[in-house]
Structure 1
Amino acid sequence: MSRGEAIVAVLLRAGRVLAIRRGPAVARPGYWQPVSGRLEPGETQRDAVAREVREEVGLTVVPLAKVWESETDDGSFRLHWWTARAETGDVVPDPDEVAEARWVTPREFLSLTPVFEGDREFFERILPPLL
């Protein structure tokens, strides 16, 4: 079985990151994570970051850089982690995909529950030097 390709959008604003709680219409609802989603055929990672953020939380962002790559815990997706700047605008969550959204520090993210193990590793090890 081939793995899918997906992006994770690490939205930065004033030293914080946007965390969302997965909504009722997506797999594994209730988990906290950054905005994420699968790449569409022919779409660049950079374009996918902008599109997914717009669809899930209504923000217009500037993708900055790919900073990490990992796999989902079930091995079904390769995740391409991108930072993106979201300096202005209000978060308007898509209620099917996003149950809740909040701007958090890396330390605050690590206190949320439940979170995926790969996300925990990102917030512990990869993110702090980037902020």
Structure 2
Amino acid sequence: MEQRQAIVAVLRRGDRVLAIRRGPGVARPGYWQPLSGRLEPGETEEQAVVREVREEVGLTVVPLAKVWESETDDHRFRLHWWTARADTGEVVPAPDEVAETRWVTPQEFLVLDPVFDGDREFFERILPEL
């Protein structure tokens, strides 16, 4: 089965990152994670970061750098992790996709439950080096 491509948007404000709890309209609701979404045909990763963030929480962001790649635990998606700046603006969640949002420190993210193993690895191993 061919892997689909998806982005993960690590939105930063100061020492905090935006975490969302997956809403009722998506697979595996209830999990906490950074914003994510699949690439549309012909779209660059940067364009996908900007679009997904706008669709899911209404923020306009500036993609900064690709910082990691991983796969989902079911191997269906290759995830391209991007940092992005979201200095201003109000978080307005799309209710179907996003049940709740929080700006968290990496330590606070690691005590949220449940989270995906790949996300935990990012917050433990990759983010502290950035």
TM-score normalised by the shorter chain: which range applies?
Answer: over 0.9
TM-score normalized with structure 2 length:
0.99
How many residues align structurally? 130
Q: How does 1:1-131 map to 2 (within 5 A)?
A: 1-130=1-130
- Alpha-carbon distance in structure 2 between the residues aligned to 1:85 and 1:17: 10
Calculate the aligned-residue CA RMSD, in Å.
0.3
Query: What is the SS of the residue equivalent to 2:99?
Result: strand
- Alpha-carbon distance in structure 1 between the residues aligned to 2:123 and 2:110: 7
- Alpha-carbon distance in structure 1 between the residues aligned to 2:86 and 2:47: 15
TM-score normalized with structure 1 length:
0.99
The code of the aligned residue for 2:120 comes to R
- Give percent identity, aligned residues only: 82
Give the superposition deviation at 1:119. Answer: 0.1
The code of the aligned residue for 2:78 comes to R
The code of the aligned residue for 1:27 comes to A
CA deviations over 1:78-123 (Å, ceiling 9, x no partner)? 0000000000001000000000000000000000000000000000
CA deviations over 1:34-72 (Å, ceiling 9, x no partner)? 000000000000000000000000000000000000000
Structure 1 residue runs of 5 or longer lacking an equivalent are: none
Structure 2 residue runs of 5 or longer lacking an equivalent are: none
Give the superposition deviation at 1:14. Answer: 1.0
- Alpha-carbon distance in structure 2 between the residues aligned to 1:87 and 1:47: 18
- Alpha-carbon distance in structure 2 between the residues aligned to 1:3 and 1:63: 23
